Amino acid sequence: MNATIYDVAREAGVSMATVSRVMNGNPNVKPATRQKVLDAMERLEYRPNAVARGLASKKTTTVGVIIPDISRTFFAELARGIEDIASMYRYNIILSSSDQNEQKELDLFDTLLGKQVDGIVYMGGEITEKHIAAFKGSVPVVLAATIDKTNMLPSVNINYEEAVYEAISYFIKNGHQSIAFVNGRIEDPINKEKLLGYRRALNENGISFDEEKVIVGDYTYNSGMQALQTLIDKDKDNFPSAIFVSTDEMALGVIHCAQDNNYSVPNDIEVIGFDDTRLAEMVRPTLSTVVQPMYDIGAVSMRLLTKLMNKEKVEQQTVVLPHQIKYRHSTHER
C-alpha cells in the first residue's frame, strides 16, 4: 500500500495539516518543519493522491478535450498545441473523439463533467441548442476551430470567410474567371463561412455564382480525387482553370487526379488548399495553401481556458488569430 498523508505526518512528527501545507507550498511553515516533512516524504516515497485531493478541493487539474477525430492530422496538431500549454500549467488532459456525432458529443460532455474536469476545450461542428444548454452552468468551455453563430461562447478561430475571400481574389486577379470550390459538408458552420467568402469574391468581381462549380467532399484524399473527377466528367469545355480546396488532404487528391488526367498543375489549373498541414510540403508541385495555425489555435484555446478556470478577467472571449496564404508551386509565381 502506498503511504498517505497520515503516514507522512506520523513519520515527521507533525500533523496532517502541516504536511498538507508543505505540499501546497503554503508559506506558513517553519523551514525546519518543512524540511522534516520533506524528508519524511522522501523516506516513505510518498505520492499525493490526486483523487482524494480533487474530492476535497473540488479541483482536479484535469481538463477535457472533445475532438472530432484524433487520427486526422489537422486535429492531431491542434491537440498537441492544447497539450503543451496544458502541461505548462500542470493540467492533464482527458482526450476523446466524438466523430462529430451530436449524441456522442453530449454523452462525452456529461462523462467529463462526471469526472469533475475543471474545464473543456471543444472542437466540433455545429453548436446546437442542446450544446448550449449542456455548456451552460457547467465548467468553462472554449471552442477551438469551431464556430458558434451566437458568438456567446469563448472561442479561438481564424476568419474563414476572409481567408477564402483572399484566395479567390488572388485567382481572379490572375485572370481566372472559372473557379471551382471543393468544400466540406455545408452543415459545418466553418464551411458555410468559407462558401460566403467564395461568393463574396465572385460577386465583387462580377463573376456569377455557378452551383455546379461547388463540390462537397468529406475531407479525405479520395474525396478530393473524386471531386475533381466530377468536375472533369461534368463539362470538358467549361473546365475550371483554378480550384480552391477546403483542406490540404483533399487538395492533394485534386492535384493527383488532375495529373492522372494529364492536366498540369499549375499550368492548366491552379490549386490553393487550406490548413497548411505538413502535407502541403509533401506533394509535387508543393501546395499553395491558406495557413491556419492549428498548433496555435490549440495553444491559445488552452491558455484562454486556464484564465477562465482561474476566474481571471479576459478582455476578449472570442479570439480571431491571423491567417495568411502561403504561395508555393501549385499556383504561378507572381
**Which residue lies nearer to DNA by CB, 4 or 178?**
4
**Which residue lies nearer to DNA by CB, 1 or 129?**
1
CA-based nearest residue to 20, from 32, 8, 30 = 8
Q: Which partner from the list a second copy, DNA, none does 43 bind, CB cut-off 5 to 8 Å by kind?
A: none
**Which residue lies nearer to DNA by CB, 3 or 134?**
3
Q: How far is the CB of 218 from a second copy (least distance, A)?
A: 13
**Which residue lies nearer to a second copy by CB, 95 or 196?**
95
Residue whose cell numbers read 485572370: 175
Amino acid at 233: D
Q: Which partner from the list DNA, a second copy, none does 168 bind, CB cut-off 5 to 8 Å by kind?
A: none
**Which residue lies nearer to DNA by CB, 29 or 228?**
29
100: left (phi over 0), alpha (psi -120 to 50) or beta: left
Amino acid at 124: G
CA-based nearest residue to 29, from 46, 42, 15, 10 = 15
**Which residue lies nearer to a second copy by CB, 25 or 114?**
114
Q: Which partner from the list a second copy, DNA, none does 223 bind, CB cut-off 5 to 8 Å by kind?
A: none
Helix (H, G, I), strand (E, B) or coil at 122: strand
Residues 92 and 105: their CA atoms lie apart, in Å, by 20
Helix (H) or strand (E) holding 223: helix 221-234
Residues 6+ apart with CB under 8 A from 74: 247, 275, 277, 294
**Which residue lies nearer to a second copy by CB, 207 or 263?**
263
Cell numbers given for 182: 471543393
**Which residue lies nearer to DNA by CB, 41 or 167?**
41
Q: Which partner from the list a second copy, DNA, none does 111 bind, CB cut-off 5 to 8 Å by kind?
A: a second copy
Q: Which partner from the list a second copy, DNA, none does 6 bind, CB cut-off 5 to 8 Å by kind?
A: DNA
Q: Which partner from the list a second copy, DNA, none does 28 bind, CB cut-off 5 to 8 Å by kind?
A: DNA
Q: Which residues bind DNA (CB under 7 A)?
A: 1-2, 4-6, 13-18, 20-21, 23-24, 27-30, 32-34, 48-49, 52-53, 55-58
Q: Which partner from the list a second copy, DNA, none does 128 bind, CB cut-off 5 to 8 Å by kind?
A: none
- Partners of 288 in beta bridges: 272
Residues 6+ apart with CB under 8 A from 278: 73
Q: Which partner from the list DNA, a second copy, none does 284 bind, CB cut-off 5 to 8 Å by kind?
A: a second copy
Residues 238 and 231: their CA atoms lie apart, in Å, by 9
Q: How far is the CB of 52 from DNA (least distance, A)?
A: 3
**Which residue lies nearer to a second copy by CB, 202 or 271?**
271
Q: Which residues bind a second copy (CB under 8 A)?
A: 47-52, 54-55, 60, 62, 69-73, 76-77, 79-80, 83-84, 87, 92-97, 110-116, 221, 249, 252-253, 256, 259, 278-279, 281-284, 295
Amino acid at 86: A
β-pairing, 324-326 vs 288-291, is antiparallel
**Rounded to the nearest 10 degrees, what angle do helices 5-12 and 16-23 cross at?**
110
Cell numbers given for 324: 495568411
Q: How far is the CB of 181 from DNA (least distance, A)?
A: 50
Helix (H) or strand (E) holding 272: strand 270-275
Residues 240 and 276: their CA atoms lie apart, in Å, by 23
Q: Which partner from the list a second copy, DNA, none does 326 bind, CB cut-off 5 to 8 Å by kind?
A: none
